[in-house]
Amino acid sequence: MANRQQVNTLPLRTISDFKSKLKGGGARPNLFEVELTFPSIVGVQDENEVLDNARFLVKAANLPASTIAPIDIPFRGRILKIAGDRTFETWTITVINDTSFSIRSAFEKWMNTINKLDNATGETDPALYQVDAKVNQLNRDGGTLRRYIFKDVFPTNISAIDLSYETTDTIQEFTVEMQVHYYEAIKGNAPESGGESIS
């Protein structure tokens, strides 16, 4: 039997091919902006200034994660998998704390509106203590590639800030964990933005 030479029918892929597919040099994890909102019932002092500061001082966030859990149904020694319910993970942001404490104070007041420090009473109507928040993935020119809108968020944890005489070369940071009901993904307005809006 004659030896048959295997023929690769796919064209050779080159670094130039790869470069042509990497639009805009790739999305960068450090090019983002968080738009916070606080419920009107909280009554944040100098709210516009706090929200403007947050665009700069929220130093870390994430694009949303969600999971559709499978449901396993046994059948004669095999498992049929069908789609179950979708769940959304907690959304966490990291904030640089400036000397005004304005952002931390706003979150503390928000949580105190939900459950007061001294007597555990608080607002029970979710429509009054839940708001939307946004994360914008940016390009190098500041245009929006994609916007994620976190629907009906509210904080459930503000992290501790460690204090120490020995710590001299850092600036305080803290994290805030927020619960998310669902999110919407919106196509950006930058020329190279692609994909579709999903809601």
- Report pLDDT digits (tens) over 164-179: 999 999 999 999 999 9
Residue 72 lies in a domain: no
Contacts of 156 (CB under 8 A, 6+ apart): 90, 111, 177, 178, 179
- What's the confidence (pLDDT) of residue 1? 55
- What's the confidence (pLDDT) of residue 18? 84
Domain encompassing residue 57: 30-67+78-130+154-182
Number of domains the chain contains: 1
Contacts of 147 (CB under 8 A, 6+ apart): 134, 135, 136, 137, 185, 186, 188
Residue 189 lies in a domain: no
Residue 39 lies in a domain: yes
Q: Model pTM?
A: 0.86
Provide mean pLDDT across the span 98-117. 96
Residue 163 lies in a domain: yes
Query: What does the pLDDT look like over 51-89, one tens digit per residue?
Result: 999 999 999 999 888 999 999 999 999 999 999 999 999
With contact defined as beta carbons under 8 Å apart, do 130 and 153 qualify? yes
How far, in Å, CA of 130 to CA of 178, rounded?
A: 10
For 63, the token pair is: 């694009």
